[in-house]
Each structure stands twice: as structure tokens, then as C-alpha cells.
Amino acid sequence: MIHHIPNVLSKEQVAEFRQLMATANWVGGKVTAGTLSASVKQNQQLSENDSLTHHLSELVIQAIWKNPVFQAAALPHQIIPPLFNRYDEHESFGFHVDNSIRLIRGTSQQMRTDLSCTLFLSEPDEYDGGDLVIEDTYGYHEVKLPAGDVVLYPATSLHEVSSISRGTRFASFFWVQSLIRDDQKRHLLFNLDESIRQLRKDHDDAYPEVMKLTNIYHNLIRMWSEL
């Protein structure tokens, strides 16, 4: 399931990120690519060891942990600290699949990548091309979101960033290990959570159906989670 999560960062936060990134030291993007991915990857990114990467990464982590839609869609257990990239004209990242296991930065701890996430830091009219193209069982989905929005999708998906023909595309990217490994189960829980939140808006929390559905929701998490 592909989720569009709006306003993870405010426009003011995006402007702050972009100001700091304007004078950053960018390196070749192949440094974090696997053997196959490196052959189709042509972009730039902030070094994992750059103090700016650590600073911006912490701000993104704070924002996504506070975002209720992200929490409901991802049900995160662990999050790889976000990285940051840019695509200038004629740069792209051809179709590839993300590594199934990644090290958490600064540790020897390994993490399974269930979900891939892109946080857009450029407005759609700032560049041409640069769509995130995600392949799933229903075909190809071209994603180009407003700055501050996140797209969340299964890390099992083949995906690419199409070639930039004008401007520059800035983004953050990271991975999530979910409490619920199976994508279909996560989607069912997300739909159930949406229904509960809507019922709570329409009725008070003591409404019997709210209590019943909340009980079902948490018992399904108990049944399906891998903790």
C-alpha cells in the first residue's frame, strides 16, 4: 500500500532545511548504494557522517514520531536515521530494490527494511522530471508531492527516480522496520484505525462501538506484532 502523508514538515521547516542545505558539502550518491543499485544511481547526497545530516535527521525523526497518520500507516518499531539527497539536471536513479537489511547508523545493529519513505523538500514546480516511480501489482505509480509531504511504500517494491530535465530535486529518504511485517495486515490495521478516529470525531470516546473496535485493533496488533 502506498500512503501519501501531508504536512510532515511545515513550509517554515522546509525553508530552514533548504537554507542549511544550500551551502552543504554534497558527495556522490553511490556511497550508500548496493552493488546493483550503484550501476543505475546518479545523484548526490549529504555524507552520513556530516553534522548537518545528524541535525536534520533528528528534526525529521521528531516530526514523524509526532505525526499520527505516519504512526498509523507505518506502525514503526525502528527507523533508520534519515539521509538527504539531491538530483540536478540529467541525474536519476534507475529501477532498483532497496536492501532488505541495513545497519543503523553509528551502531552494529541490523534492521529489516519493511517500508521505504521519501520526504519531499522541493516543490513540484521547482523541477521537471524527478518523479518517484513505484511499481506494484497494480502497475506504475508516479509520485511528486509538495515539499514537506511524505510518501510511504513497501520496501519490496521496485522503484526509480526519473531523470531531471530542469531544476533540482531535494529530498530525505529513510526506512522503517514495522511492528507488523505483512503489508496487507498493516493496511487492514490502518483502515481500522481510520474508522475508529472517524467514530471518535462523530461521537464521544464512550460510544460502545469505539470501545469495541479499539479492543479489536489492539488485540490484532498483539496477535500480529513481532515484539
Q: What is the pLDDT of residues 156-195, one digit of tens each?
A: 999 999 999 999 999 999 999 999 999 999 999 999 999 9
Helix (H, G, I), strand (E, B) or coil at 193: helix
pLDDT band at 33 (very low <50, low <70, confident <90, very high): low
High-pLDDT (> 90) share of the chain, %: 84
Q: What is the DSSP letter of 47?
A: -
Residue 132 has pLDDT above 80, yes or no: yes
Answer with the residue of higher pLDDT: 189 or 1: 189
Q: What confidence score (pLDDT) does residue 126 get?
A: 98
pLDDT band at 108 (very low <50, low <70, confident <90, very high): confident
At 192, the amino acid letter reads L
179: left (phi over 0), alpha (psi -120 to 50) or beta: alpha
Instruction: Give φ, ψ of 75 to 5 degrees.
Output: 45, 60
Query: Full-prediction pTM beyond 0.85?
Result: yes
Answer with the residue of higher pLDDT: 30 or 11: 11
Domains of the chain plus CATH, in order, are 3-178 (2.60.120.620), 183-224 (4.10.860)
pLDDT band at 67 (very low <50, low <70, confident <90, very high): very high
Distance between first and last Cα of the chain: 23
pLDDT band at 29 (very low <50, low <70, confident <90, very high): confident
Helix (H) or strand (E) holding 28: strand 26-28
Residue 38 has pLDDT above 80, yes or no: no
Q: Name the least confident of 22-26, 30-34, 36-40.
A: 30-34
Section 133-139 average pLDDT: 90
Closest to 147 measured CA to CA, from 16, 7, 19: 7
Closest to 9 measured CA to CA, from 149, 172, 174, 126: 149
Residue 97 has pLDDT above 70, yes or no: yes
Q: What confidence score (pLDDT) does residue 105 get?
A: 85
The C-alpha R_g of the chain, in whole angstroms, comes to 18
Helix (H, G, I), strand (E, B) or coil at 15: helix
